[in-house]
A and B are shown apart, each in its own frame.
Chain A
Amino acid sequence: MIDWIAAFFLIAGSLFMLVAAIGVVKLSDVYMRMHAITKAASLGAILMLVAVSLLYVQWIVWIEALMVVVFVILTAPIASHMIAKAAHKTNMPKGPNYVMDELEGVDTDIPDKA
């Protein structure tokens, strides 16, 4: 029974990661590609770690899987925010189908305290 649940979590996580990779290839913009990665790939990693902690009932495995989950949840939004900010500051080209940009012309100049 636990094999079926772990197999479900494994397949779901790998499919989320595949969706992230498809988004990297298909989307048209730096910001849209970052939007695809930073949510789907994090969720895929978390689901696969749930699978490995279901299969191995040891406290060291649980603690390490929990550490990876906490690091991914804490650091993925910060890292993608930093890269998006750097890309926007350096005037990276936008794709053909973006809706709005509230910082257009405001944030493009680089301040001293960057």
Chain B
Amino acid sequence: MELQTSPVLTFAIYFSFFNLTIGLFMGLYRLLTGPTLPDRIVVMDLVASLSIGLIVVYIIATGQTVFLNVAVAIALLVFMGNIAFAKYLIRRIKK
């Protein structure tokens, strides 16, 4: 990918992509081997934050600032998902 940014910003973009990808694979490891259900719910929160970071780095790499709407939607939806999972977790034991 040919970036139209200055060299220091290009290095920062590639370095941030590398860090966020390593973080996603660490989350995948915890998602596959997490002993309990709340571990996997916690991973969902981490993956949402990493997605916001990936969207931001992609905006800086390409200049398409419309993708900030996606970041707003993710920040809203993950909260609803967390609350729903917590309610489900309590209700599953109560039964």
Contact = CB atoms under 8 A, between A and B. Distances in A.
Interface of A: 3-4, 6-8, 10-11, 13-15, 17-18, 20-22, 24-25, 30, 33-34, 37-38, 41-42, 44-45, 48-49, 51-52, 55-56, 58, 60-61, 64-65, 67-68, 71-72, 75-76, 78-80, 82-83, 85-87, 89-90, 92-93, 110, 114
Contacts of B1: none
Contacts, number: 180
Summarize B's interface: helix, strand, loop or mixed: helix
B79 A78 contact: yes
Contacts of A75: 75-76, 78-79, 82
Nearest to B19: A14
Contacts of A72: 49, 52, 75
B56 A51 contact: yes
Contact of B56 (A8, A20, A52): A52
A41 B49 contact: yes
Nearest to B22: A18
Interface size class of B (residues with CB under 8 A): 35 or more
A64 B12 contact: no
Interface of B: 5-6, 8-9, 11-13, 15-16, 19-20, 22-24, 26-27, 29-30, 35-36, 38-39, 41-43, 45-46, 49-50, 52-53, 56-57, 59-60, 65, 68-69, 71-72, 75-76, 78-79, 82-83, 85-87, 89-90, 92-94
Contacts of A6: 9, 12, 60
A76 B42 CA distance: 11
A51 B60 contact: yes
A68 B68 contact: yes
A41 B19 contact: no
Given A20-B46, A24-B43, A72-B52, 6 more contacts: A6-B60, A7-B12, A18-B23, A48-B52, A75-B75, A86-B86
Contacts of A3: 5-6, 8-9
B42 A83 contact: yes
